[in-house]
Amino acid sequence: MNLEPAQLAFFAEADELLTRMEESLLGLESDPDNHELIDEIFRAAHTIKGTAGVFGFDDVVHFTHEVESLLDRIRDGRMAVTAAAIGLLLRSKDHIGALVRAVAEKSELDAGDVREGGELMAALLDLLGRKAPAAGDSIVESAAPELVREAGGDDCVSTGNWHLSLRFGSDVLRSGMDPLSFLRFLGTLGDIVHLHAVCDALPAWSQLDPESCYLGFEIDFRSEASKSDIEAVFEFVRDDCVIHIIPPYARVSEYLDVIRALPEDDLKIGEILVLSGALTRAELERGLVRQLDVGQPGERVAQTQPLGEILVEDGSVNAGVVDAALVKQKQVKDAKAQEARSLRIDADKLDHLIELVGELVIASAGVQNISQTLANIPLSEASEVLLRLVNDVRDQALSLRMVQIGATFQRFQRVVRDVSRELGKDIELVINGAETELDKTVVEHIGDPLMHLVRNAMDHGIEQTDVRLARGKPARARLTLGARHEAGGIVIVVADDGGGLNREKIRSKAIERGLISADAQLSEREIDRLIFAPGFSTADQVSNLSGRGVGMDVVRRNIEALRGTVEIHTVPGQGTTLGIRLPLTLAIIDGFLIGVGSTTFVLPVGVIVECVELAGGQRSLARARGYLDMRGEVLPLLWLRDAFDMQGEAPTRRENVVIVKFGQTRMGIVVDQLMGEHQTVIRPLGKLFQALRGVSGSTILGSGEIALILDVAGLLQLAGRNEHQLQAGAAVRALAEGDGVPTTTA
């Protein structure tokens, strides 16, 4: 039987649970009385332990069990939530992750993880009042006898017989699950006193499907394990099976839990009460008899009194249980419909879909071009319909890859907590715009640059507590991570309320390292950007966090590789803000075609403000001044022909100005032609042209020609830098002639 698909699902689920566990632990540190967070942390550990047990991942089971035992004490109020306990649980969460990764990669823990596991187990057992393993004893052996939690709370230990009613789903075998493996694992927690196989679902032999499961079991089970421990055995098949666990002396709360856990079928109230164990079949039949008046032989007339009221009057069932059953009866259909809306798909399949959509966009543009050339009305109408459908498919496909950046931001809660303690600083992390969406590919690549920026802000930007107090600032510093949509892209902000950049120190360090000459005249912006120079650092000594001169230059390179930019704004004594501007997607954008001579370029629609005509005396005056009077505002102009040193003469009658905005900067780009909007499939430039300023990529037009995608941020930097023009112009001509142009496959 192939268990690999089920195991892969477990590894993915464990990663999500550990992420939520860390977020809840960090939230609990600032709100130690939040019982919802405690319950969420406990459930995460409990689910991981139970599912790992199904697959026989004993190391994960036994270590996670001790973590769960500690959480159980906290949940029951027998142990306080302290900073030390949170720290231990965070380290334990990391070790659970290491154990799961080792199983997933079929590898052994490295020496550091083994040592960390031993230290954590000793600390957990010490808090639980048990003896730590002796030297030479394995962690698993020391923990194995301790699989019974202490009594207390609603989830109490019982020495009587439990009753388990199991109905495995028909697809359980197809999912790689062996029903008997769950029963064998159940036997490790106690004794199966009686087991009765139920085969009511077995169809006629002619309709039997050998890949379907028709098994069910009624089990009497003697164990000192808690209900949670028993439930954990079946955690991985809970969604596909009907599982009812009735304790020896069930309380109302137990019946309520069972009712809520019933499979989401269209059940009547009597069936819900019987399946939950709150009512026997005989008691239900007596209630039904009372509900019906017997008239003539074979004739019954229903009374108006509901069945639930009759059962409560007879004392057969508690009123609260009936109410819960009624609520369940109303909710099941909606819950099942909601569950059906979610589907987990492989990321590679999604990437392949985007590639195919990109090819579809190019093919659609080709059809559009042919229909315009032939001037065939039916063909033009059909191509317009095709174009509209392709646009819809493109938008839907891209939306599948859009994810919220909040998950990336939340990971830094742990980083800020640990680094601030290492530095001896009191720092809180504030997150804004967590719901902002962008392409998952961008999210995957932005994590490392953000890590460098956050650590750098805490180490260099934020002062020590005594310095902050002396300056009249709050003792607790604030580090902000924010995101927002702007001009067809996304802006990510990393801001601190520290001391700001020390420009004198930056300048002196740059001179010391030979990055600038002693007599160099630099603006404040140019001084600030020196922190992105390779090998630059203002740290006086090397530490775990800084001093080696690596990090910030890597940040700049990684962001520019994503067709983004990073800007710095600092106020001495008040703090520093770094703004990262990135495209929303790296796959397909809405573009605007412009022409210079015989060469076609593409501008992202999101950066365009408006287009104006430049003709007559205004054209001559603008050329002489280098700017345009735009309704009383000075608008700097960049002639694209001059910027790229392109051959040929400008049109004699008129030119056009495309006004673009990037951040707070506006500029006019002077071109020969305006050619309209175009869906643009982004193709990366070859290695030879990756450092080319002003061009971020290329695309293939419907005619098969290559068009270059302009990078507005690069054009702004290119403006006024004549020394780059010859180099850029030669590269642009080479690209336009087909040298180094990428293939049509992304």
Residue 344 in any domain: the answer is: no
Residue 466 in any domain: the answer is: yes
Report how far apart, in Å, the C-alpha atoms of 338 and of each of 277, 330, 341, 403, 636 are.
Answer: 27, 14, 5, 20, 54
Phi, psi of 7 (to 5 degrees): -65, -40
**pLDDT given for residue 329 in this prediction:** 66
- Interhelix angle 58-75/83-104, rounded to 10 degrees, is 160
Give 10-residue mean pLDDT values along the chain (746 residues).
66 88 89 88 84 78 88 86 90 93 89 90 86 47 34 39 80 81 84 75 79 81 83 80 74 62 59 65 70 50 65 69 70 50 73 85 85 85 88 84 86 89 91 88 86 89 92 93 84 93 88 85 86 73 50 80 84 92 78 90 88 86 87 88 83 87 83 87 73 79 84 73 41 46 35
Phi, psi of 167 (to 5 degrees): -135, 105
Please identify which residue in the block is written with the tokens 């569950």.
339
Residues 134 and 199 in one domain: no
Domain containing 390 equals: 354-401
Q: In sequence order, what DSSP letters do the residues of 359-407 get, joined into one string?
A: HHHHHHHHHHHHHHHHT-HHHHHHHHHHHHHHHHHHHHHHHHTEEETHH
**pLDDT given for residue 325 in this prediction:** 73
Residue 281 in any domain: the answer is: yes
Residues 373 and 418 in one domain: no
Decide which of 545, 562, 583 is a domain's last residue: 583
Contacts with 463 (C-beta within 8 Å, 6 or more apart), sequence order? 471, 473, 477, 498, 499
> Helices marked H in 187-248 — which ranges?
227-233
3-state secondary structure of 135: coil
**For residues 706 and 741, what is the distance between their CA atoms, to the nearest angstrom?**
8
Instruction: Classify residue 304 as exposed, middle or buried by CB count within 10 Å of its CB (0-12, 13-18, 19+).
Output: exposed
Contacts with 521 (C-beta within 8 Å, 6 or more apart), sequence order? none
**For residues 641 and 650, what is the distance between their CA atoms, to the nearest angstrom?**
8
Residues 239 and 262 in one domain: yes
Report how far apart, in Å, the C-alpha atoms of 469 and of each of 426, 472, 475, 501, 571 are.
Answer: 12, 5, 6, 19, 18
Query: Within 13 Å, how many C-alpha atoms sit on residue 216's CB side?
Result: 17
**Angle CA 356–359–362, to nearest 5:** 155
Residues 247 and 328 in one domain: yes
Residues 187 and 291 in one domain: yes
**Domain holding 532: CATH number?**
3.30.565.10
Decide which of 548, 583, 618 is a domain's last residue: 583
Distance of CA 223 to the CA centre of its chain: 40
**For residues 89 and 70, what is the distance between their CA atoms, to the nearest angstrom?**
9
**pLDDT given for residue 736 in this prediction:** 47
Cα torsion at 622, 623, 624, 628 (round to 10°)? 20
Residue 25 in any domain: the answer is: yes
**Angle CA 230–231–236, to nearest 5:** 125
Contacts with 592 (C-beta within 8 Å, 6 or more apart), sequence order? 602, 603, 604, 605, 608, 658, 674, 675, 676, 677, 678
- Residues facing residue 174 across a β-bridge: none
Residues 230 and 327 in one domain: yes
Residue 349 in any domain: the answer is: no
Number of domains in the chain: 5
Residues 226 and 198 in one domain: yes
Residue 526 in any domain: the answer is: yes
**pLDDT given for residue 270 in this prediction:** 73
**pLDDT given for residue 543 in this prediction:** 52
Residues 515 and 603 in one domain: no
Is 478 within 8 Å of 428 (Cβ atoms)? yes
Residue 155 in any domain: the answer is: no
**For residues 700 and 361, what is the distance between their CA atoms, to the nearest angstrom?**
10
Decide which of 538, 567, 583 is a domain's last residue: 583
User: Which three-class secondary structure string do you get for 427-463?
Assistant: EEEEEECCCCEEEHHHHHHHHHHHHHHHHHHHHHHCC
Residues 592 and 689 in one domain: yes
**Domain holding 112: CATH number?**
1.20.120.160
Report how far apart, in Å, the C-alpha atoms of 13 and of each of 185, 235, 563 are.
Answer: 21, 12, 33
Residues 365 and 312 in one domain: no
- Interhelix angle 35-55/83-104, rounded to 10 degrees, is 30
**pLDDT given for residue 94 in this prediction:** 93
Residue 343 in any domain: the answer is: no
**For residues 15 and 99, what is the distance between their CA atoms, to the nearest angstrom?**
12
Residues 50 and 169 in one domain: no
**For residues 551 and 555, what is the distance between their CA atoms, to the nearest angstrom?**
6
Length of the chain: 746
Containing 676, the helix (H) or strand (E) segment is strand 673-681
Residues 459 and 557 in one domain: yes
**pLDDT given for residue 39 in this prediction:** 87
Instruction: Classify residue 673 as exposed, middle or buried by CB count within 10 Å of its CB (0-12, 13-18, 19+).
Output: middle
